[in-house]
Amino acid sequence: YRLDRQELHVCLWGFGMFFGQRDLGGLYLNRFEFSPLWAPVESLALEIHWPNELPVFARPRGGAQWRRARKLWKSSLRWIANYESWVRSNVGLAYRRECVSAWLRPFVRAEKSAAAWRFLSRQEWEHHNQPLIQQLNHYTIRTSRS
């Protein structure tokens, strides 16, 4: 999946996500690691189909790179939240529940997905005393083991 809209560029693959904006660069998030990496590229080539075809992404260095990466991170999480809201409005909650039930390890309830992404986009992790798992309690799926 690819979206190129004015200054926004989003690529989704089975292995991860790229989110880029003009003047900020781009973030790559591996599907299996919640550790975004930054590069000074706002868009990617159309021919990328494998992780080894990506440009080099790394942890930001210096204040300017960190500011850009944080802006991109917040924007990417808001974009995901808006997408989840769109899915719910246009396809329906039943569809999203079916998708979530098929996940290997569902964490967030389908009806709370957009709200959970918005919550994450507003966080400044270094200012919280609670672990992230406790902060997300309101959004998570309760199991018989919980």
Whether 17 is covered by a domain: the verdict is yes
Whether 115 is covered by a domain: the verdict is yes
Distance (Å, rounded) from C-alpha 97 to C-alpha 11?
A: 24
To the nearest 10°, report the CA torsion of 121, 122, 127, 131.
-60
Whether 146 is covered by a domain: the verdict is no
Q: Which domain holds residue 114?
A: 2-139
Distance (Å, rounded) from C-alpha 141 to C-alpha 146?
A: 9
Whether 14 is covered by a domain: the verdict is yes
Q: pLDDT digits over 34-44, tens only?
A: 788 999 999 99
Amino acid at 60: P
Closest CA to 120 of 29, 41, 4, 1: 29
Considering the chain, what is the average pLDDT of its residues? Answer: 85
Q: For the residues 76-80, what does the mean pLDDT come to? A: 94
Split into its structural domains, the chain has a count of 1
140 secondary structure, DSSP code: B
pTM: 0.79
Whether 145 is covered by a domain: the verdict is no
End-to-end CA separation in angstroms for the chain: 36
Whether 144 is covered by a domain: the verdict is no
State yes or no: pLDDT of 105 exceeds 60. yes
Whether 129 is covered by a domain: the verdict is yes
Whether 77 is covered by a domain: the verdict is yes
Instruction: For residue 33, name the pLDDT band (cuts at 50, 70, 90).
Output: confident
* Residue 115 φ then ψ, to 5°: -65, -40
